[in-house]
Amino acid sequence: MTLLIGTDEAGYGPNLGPLVVAATAWRVDTPAEDAETVLTTAMLEVDAATGAGRGTPLWADSKQIYRGGAGFDRLERGVLIGLKLASDALPGSWTELAERVGPISPRNGCRDEWQDLAPLTVPREADAAECIDRATAVRDLLACRGVVLERVACRGIYPDEFNRLLNDGLNKSDILSAATLDLAATLRAVAPDEPAIIWCDRHGGRKRYGGLVARHFDATLVQPLEETPARSAYLVPAGDRPPTQACRIEFCVGGESRAPVALASMAAKYVRELSMHAFNTFWAARVPGLRPTAGYPTDAQRWRGDAAAAIQQARFAADDLWRRL
């Protein structure tokens, strides 16, 4: 058996809303050197059999699936199918979603501008029965290749927490790297005695990750394998266990072509979109005619100006609302 973990994020660039980091854990019944090939073959079969082929895979980079506000139903369907595979149940609300994937609400609770998260129901657009039927078909196809999706996990970092981390001396890339590697290390515990491969996207312009990997995986010796503009790769020895149980971690450009990273990308985007829906609902009730925002810098400035009077009236501290970048 080999453990495959993919990670990605949504909301790295915006001033409003959370940074969401996600990871997925898969087990493939094959040695580590063959695991990616087996998984790729399995996903080609899944896409062909479920009608998701012809350039539209079930799981892909969220930026390809959800663009300009279009494609939310496909984004949601893909994530819910993944959750059904990993937990054998579909969430019916934000609260149930958090129970499945982990800490996605603000650390201090669903307060103020996030108060509409707790009562949020899902699915929003996807058909639940269709998701269940497709998940059953996907599970059977993956099982034929010895592939199992074990876990989908997410972590939300909201503006107040993000800004506190900045005040503690971290930069934006540090915050992303720490959250990503913490999540990956947690999922590594799914099968600690098996070889593991972890795929991460590049974090900002960072090229060297050895120190971070050593710290978050509690490893005294991390071997750099490659540090180039396209990819940084490291080997984490298995300690007293056989070398075949070592963990390889890669930070590379374009990792969303791999299903574990693609599903992580979609899960992160889905959680962020739900949170921004709650955010926009809260403020639209206080500012008639206020156009919703996705939180990215240019439109966030527009939104901040349009909502200025309501923000002042609500007495929001700037760091609770506005994520410094």
Domain 2-321 fold: Nucleotidyltransferase; domain 5 (3.30.420)
For residue 28, the cross-strand partners are 2, 147
| pLDDT tens, residue order, the chain (325 aa) | 999 999 999 999 999 999 999 999 999 999 999 999 999 999 999 999 887 656 678 999 999 899 877 899 999 999 999 999 999 889 999 999 999 999 999 987 656 788 889 899 999 999 999 999 999 999 999 999 999 999 999 999 999 999 999 999 999 999 999 999 999 999 998 888 899 999 998 887 788 899 899 888 888 789 999 998 888 999 998 766 666 678 999 998 877 889 999 999 999 999 999 999 999 999 999 999 999 999 999 999 999 999 999 999 988 888 889 999 8
| Helical H segments across the chain, by residue range | 32-49, 62-65, 72-87, 94-101, 128-144, 159-167, 172-188, 210-216, 259-284, 297-306, 308-314, 318-321
Q: How many C-beta atoms lie closer than 10 Å to residue 9's C-beta?
A: 25
Q: Which residues contact 136 (CB under 8 A, 6 or more apart)?
A: none
Q: How many C-beta atoms lie closer than 10 Å to residue 251's C-beta?
A: 27
Domain ranges of the chain: 2-321
Dihedral in degrees, nearest 10, Cα atoms 212, 222, 151, 200: 60
